[in-house]
Amino acid sequence: MAFKYGGYIGQLLRVNLTNKGITKETLREDWARDFVGGVGLSARIIYEEVKPKIDPLGPENKLVMMTGPVNGTMIPAASRSSFCAKSPYTGSFFHSIFGGFLGPEVKFAGYDGVIIEGQAKAPVYIWIDDDKVQVKDATHLWGKDPFKTQEILRQEIGDEEIHIATIGLAGEQKAPYAMILCDIRAAGRGGMGAVMGSKNLKAIVVRGTGGVTVPNVLKVYNTAIRLNEVLSTNPAVKGLSEYGTPRNVGAMNEAGILPTRNWQTEVFEGMKDITAEVMREKVVKGDRACFACSINCTKYSVVPSGPYKSIINGADYEAIYGFGSCCAVDNIEALCKADELCDHYGIDLISTALSISWAMECFEKGIFTKDDTDGIELKFGNADGMLQMIEKIGKREGFGALLAKGTREASKIVGKDTFRFAIQNKGLEFPGHTPRPFPACAVGYATGPRGGSHHDIRPTPEKTGLVDRKVFEGKGALAAEINHWLILCDSMLLCHLAEAIWGPMKISDDTIEALNVVTGWELNYEKARKIAERQWNMIRCFSAREGFTRENDQLPVRFMEEPVPEGPMKGSYIPKETLERLKNDYFSYRGWDLKTGNPTKEKLIELGLDFAVEDICL
């Protein structure tokens, strides 16, 4: 029977790995309406089904892969999918989102999402072949890297068009920031790969031959045509097709906002050798697009020979920032190799890079010597040392075992004030988008449920001058409205790289139109905003139930105490007292309790989250 709303399949797949039980459940119409899909719907499910304070690497945790109503339609920049769980890295609800084809394929197989629970006794993989679902032995895949695993599964199944999510060695070892590789794209952050590994689940393999039903195909077609036209002519999107996300590198360095040497400064003297232009000239061989997307932002790059021989889908900006400017390595081929090694071991690229740059600063300060670092001269700029250390992190071997814990835990172990330059919040290391000159971005990072994520907040409105970065008033409200457009997109699984049309200041008309034409809903801005606010509060409730308070909403000490030392942003930072004022501004705008930072009873009732009142309101 068709689901009430367009775009949805109306069915969830539940796989219990403890008893290999497979059930197909009808999607709750009220949850679809109130939480949409993707991250919003996953948050509701996980809040309901995962008990507070459980071990994220135990069988009680659940790994939810969820699509959204727009996935699998012809709407562009809408191909993403989400893995959600309680994170072993941050202890909070975590959503790790990836692009490509896997999300649409799950819908074509007949499911809006997959809930994975329990723990297999031995390695397994899940094979979803339309309505036929099996839990199969993966003993022969254990120990294989993600791409080798994909190759074997494609051969065994005899179908080149299957789509696969898999973990590497790090996930198998439950390394805290292990990622899930989804074909060529990564659900990189927050240790979702460790959750998968803790369940002895090596891979999820999907083949779907169905489709997605919408109320009026012509309306969806017309919207898709119009949005593609907007994407192809919007200046803020231009450049992604030709250069991908690294298009930022030169401009950011010129603006003095390219984080360098573990964020000791934000101007990199070696920038000219790691720009998008250099990358295109030296290594890029082609472009790759996600399902139904006209942007083609992924670059396919090859280093054909030599010590950095590698084949990657990248390097994206975060690799160039993390392994490039942050580790002071100015060799684009070495950055490609670093990217490839992260995929090989299945580790989050940003956390890996920032753990190494933190260690490099320790080395620079004399806190570590070669005796500590397995004989590696771990100086800034040492490309080979950096690559050796990635291998050690991937294997959790020697000094790499310390860095595999991430900067928060490693700095606690090492002491000696090294926490001050651990560039993380809630344990999650920061991406390459500085908040020091941008107050809305700063409070967004601090209050974000994941911590150091540029997908809970976007720097773009302040970084482009849409709003005045020097004005602090109203920045709490701006951060909240950016949260809202992001979380609604993450529930529809829209790509943030198209933020010019989905945002960038608040939920856009285009976002609402895409949702309405696919579902048949008639949402206006106020109704769409209320859904987004409900989703954001739902996630905050999960954190609050785990014991998080406003004290957990922090920035790295460096951002609060060390002004940018040079360049056009010289002098910028967010002093602690300023951050606290921004948090008050943000909490007040949200109607949250200023003391705890938690949603109030009145706010929860207003949003229809009454069930959470007794969990978090004293």
* Omega prior to 504 cis, within 30 of 0: yes
CB 511 within 8 A of CB 528: yes
**Distant-in-sequence, close-in-space partners of 410: CB < 8 Å, separation ≥ 6:** 355, 358, 359, 402, 403, 418, 422
- Is residue 344 near another protein by the rule CB under 8 A? no
The tokens of 208 are what? 């779907």
User: In the complex, what is the shortest distance from the CB of residue 430 to another protein, in angstroms, rounded to a whole number?
Assistant: 12
- Out of 1, 51, 218, 235, the only residue in the binding site for another protein (CB under 8 A) is 235
User: In the complex, what is the shortest distance from the CB of residue 229 to another protein, in angstroms, rounded to a whole number?
Assistant: 9
DSSP codes of every residue in 271-323 = GGGSSHHHHHHHTEEEEE--TT-S---EEEEEE-SSTT-EEEE---HHHIIII
In the window 268-307, what residues touch another protein (CB under 8 A)?
275-277
User: In the complex, what is the shortest distance from the CB of residue 315 to another protein, in angstroms, rounded to a whole number?
Assistant: 11
- Out of 242, 384, 513, 606, the only residue in the binding site for another protein (CB under 8 A) is 242
User: In the complex, what is the shortest distance from the CB of residue 454 to another protein, in angstroms, rounded to a whole number?
Assistant: 5
Cβ closer to another protein: 249 or 574?
Answer: 249
- Is residue 568 near another protein by the rule CB under 8 A? yes
Q: Per DSSP, what are the bridge partners of residue 284?
A: 301
Cβ closer to another protein: 145 or 316?
Answer: 316
CB 450 within 8 A of CB 90: yes
* Omega prior to 315 cis, within 30 of 0: yes
- Out of 230, 311, 367, 557, the only residue in the binding site for another protein (CB under 8 A) is 230
User: In the complex, what is the shortest distance from the CB of residue 162 to another protein, in angstroms, rounded to a whole number?
Assistant: 29
Q: What type of residue is 242? A: E
- Out of 500, 541, 609, 616, the only residue in the binding site for another protein (CB under 8 A) is 500
CB atoms within 10 A of CB 5: 19
CA distances, 344 to each of 190, 310, 312, 317, 349 (Å):
18, 11, 10, 19, 11
> Nearest 5°: CA angle at 75, between 74 and 80?
100
- Is residue 152 near another protein by the rule CB under 8 A? no
- Out of 22, 54, 152, 255, the only residue in the binding site for another protein (CB under 8 A) is 255
From 13-21, 63-71, 317-325, 522-530, span contacting another protein (CB under 8 A): 317-325
From 50-58, 314-322, 361-369, 371-379, span contacting another protein (CB under 8 A): 314-322
Block residue for tokens 């945790």: 61
- Cβ burial 229-263 (10 Å sphere, 16+ → b, else e): eebeeeeebebbbebbbbbbbbebbebbbbbbbbb
- Is residue 454 near another protein by the rule CB under 8 A? yes
User: In the complex, what is the shortest distance from the CB of residue 275 to another protein, in angstroms, rounded to a whole number?
Assistant: 8
- Out of 174, 408, 433, 540, the only residue in the binding site for another protein (CB under 8 A) is 433
- Is residue 497 near another protein by the rule CB under 8 A? yes
Full 3-state SS string of 473-495:
CCHHHHHHHHHHHHHHHHHHCCC
- Out of 83, 98, 127, 243, the only residue in the binding site for another protein (CB under 8 A) is 243
- Is residue 591 near another protein by the rule CB under 8 A? no
- Out of 2, 160, 218, 233, the only residue in the binding site for another protein (CB under 8 A) is 233
Residue 413 burial (10 A CB sphere; 0-12, 13-18, 19+): exposed
From 166-174, 205-213, 258-266, 491-499, span contacting another protein (CB under 8 A): 491-499
User: In the complex, what is the shortest distance from the CB of residue 455 to another protein, in angstroms, rounded to a whole number?
Assistant: 8
Q: Which residues bind another protein (CB under 8 A)?
A: 230, 233-236, 238-239, 242-243, 245, 247-248, 250-252, 254-255, 275-277, 316-318, 321, 431-433, 454-455, 458-460, 463-466, 468, 496-497, 499-500, 568-569
